[in-house]
Amino acid sequence: MTTSTRGTSRVPAVLVLEDGRIFRGRAYGAVGETFGEAVFSTGMTGYQETLTDPSYHRQVVVMTAPHVGNTGVNDEDPESKRIWVAGYVVRDPARVPSNWRSRRTLDEELAAQGVVGISGIDTRALTRHLRERGAMRVGIFSGNALPDEGTMIAQVRQAPEMTGADLSAEVATKEAYVVPAIGEKKFTVAAVDLGIKGMTPHRMAERGIEVHVLPATASVEEVYAVAPDGVFFSNGPGDPATADHPVAMMQAVLERGTPLFGICFGNQILGRALGFGTYKLKYGHRGINQPVQDRTTGKVEVTAHNHGFAVDAPLDEVSQTPFGRAEVSHVCLNDNVVEGLQLLDKPAFSVQYHPEAAAGPHDAAYLFDRFVSLMEGQRA
């Protein structure tokens, strides 16, 4: 085992923010350079699910949990076939991972997948900086001969911004596939893959739903070719303002009145389909410990989030939209950001957060049951 696979690499690495702030550490994972949007995640657990969430495409993720990699890497927890984060920033990597499911170290896995990371960073100071200044572009450079600071800052400033990025097609499946219902099949759902996490079709399959996962570029005809009882729009990376094709497709689904459910990017697309705007949050919500209130029941749930954009809809009034009345169903209790939308005259709703909850908590699992109820209601 080399020193680097034990999380104790001596190869120098530098993290360079676009505003010129620099943090020095050691290489973690692959050695090289990478660029993306610096964002922080407050999850204390579930690093494999975070790394493999396609919504993190082009983002460099800073972990606020100080000790990362303790349970190694297993073959069960990934949310997709590969790591999607553009880079990974940790404070203190586990030197000796320990878990009965662990197959390899996180350092080895990052290196094997070519993901450039950095360790030994004061992630609390970095997170406070991002919280005050907002998410921004970042570069990680590692190796024994690094460019001078001015060159690195200039390179970071040339990297693409997240605003205006159209990324779903880069992460979504190219071919349709089916996730069979577990047990008796009760419903068929067409799931439009904008960057879907593996747990989402699984949560539907557990409820007797056969899920036809379709590429982001699928047409309305392809959606209806599977004779769906419901249509689902997934999470995904990038700026929802660019998602014109999914918005048009969703409007066609709303027009027909097919039960509809959206998660995260899917919520932003419902917002746009109804005529609301979307905007970039200063630093977003990422982690598995975010408080949300379901305003339809008053209940508060602790939920998994990963979003940098949000829907701009009025919190305290019912809106008239081209598809009837709509209201904000869920709100984040930290900052009053819109976390869910529902239509009052059509069987359609969405949430900005992650009821599939990989990795947990499971407070929001009832939303999949709500989707099932809408499909049952349509049959009755």
Looking at the annotation, which residues are catalytic? 264, 354, 356
Q: Which stretch binds ligand GLN (CB under 6 A): 8-16, 61-69, 94-102, 233-241?
A: 233-241
- Using only C-alpha atoms, what is the Rg of the chain? 21
> Rounded to 5 degrees, what are φ and ψ at 123?
-70, -20
55 is in an annotated binding site: yes
Q: How far is the CB of 198 from ligand GLN (least distance, A)?
A: 14
Residues 139-178 that bind ligand GLN (CB under 6 A): none
Q: Is 308 within any annotated ligand binding site?
A: yes
* Binder of ligand GLN out of 23, 28, 232, 309 (CB under 6 A): 309
Q: Which of 36, 237, 259, 262 binds ligand GLN (CB under 6 A)?
A: 237
For residue 266, the minimal CB distance to ligand GLN (Å) is 7
- Window 287-306: contact mask with ligand GLN (x via CB under 6 A): -------------------x
194, amino acid identity: L
Question: What's the closest the beta carbon of residue 24 comes to ligand GLN, in angstroms?
Answer: 29
307: contact with ligand GLN by CB under 6 A: yes
Is 114 annotated as belonging to a binding site?
Answer: no
Question: Of 21-29, 182-190, 204-212, 229-237, which segment contacts ligand GLN by CB under 6 A?
Answer: 229-237
Q: Within its chain, how far is the Cα of 139 from the centroid? A: 21
Q: Does 52 bind ligand GLN (CB under 6 A)?
A: no
Least distance to ligand GLN from the beta carbon of 51, Å?
14
Among 264, 326, 358, 375, binds ligand GLN (CB under 6 A): 264
Whichever of 12 and 54 has its CB closer to ligand GLN, that residue is: 54
Q: How many angstroms separate the first and last alpha carbons of the chain?
A: 62
Asked whether position 71 contacts ligand GLN by CB under 6 A, the answer is no
The answer to whether residue 238 forms part of the interface with ligand GLN (CB under 6 A) is yes
Per CB under 6 A, 286 contacts ligand GLN:
no
In whole angstroms, give the CA distance from residue 341 to residue 333: 16
Q: Which of 78, 308, 340, 347 touches ligand GLN (CB under 6 A)? A: 308
Under 8 Å between Cβ of 350 and 256: no
Q: Quote the least distance from Cβ 236 to ligand GLN, whole Å.
A: 5
323 binds ligand GLN per the rule CB under 6 A: no
Residue of the chain from 265, 276, 368, 371 that contacts ligand GLN (CB under 6 A): 265
Q: Does 43 bind ligand GLN (CB under 6 A)?
A: no
**346 touching ligand GLN, by CB under 6 A:** no
- The Cα-based distances of 57 to 79, 80, 86, 173, 178 in angstroms read 13, 12, 6, 14, 24
Structure tokens given for 222: 């392809």
List the one residue from 142, 235, 258, 293 that touches ligand GLN (CB under 6 A): 235
Residues of this chain that interact with ligand GLN (CB under 6 A) are 55, 235-238, 264-265, 306-309
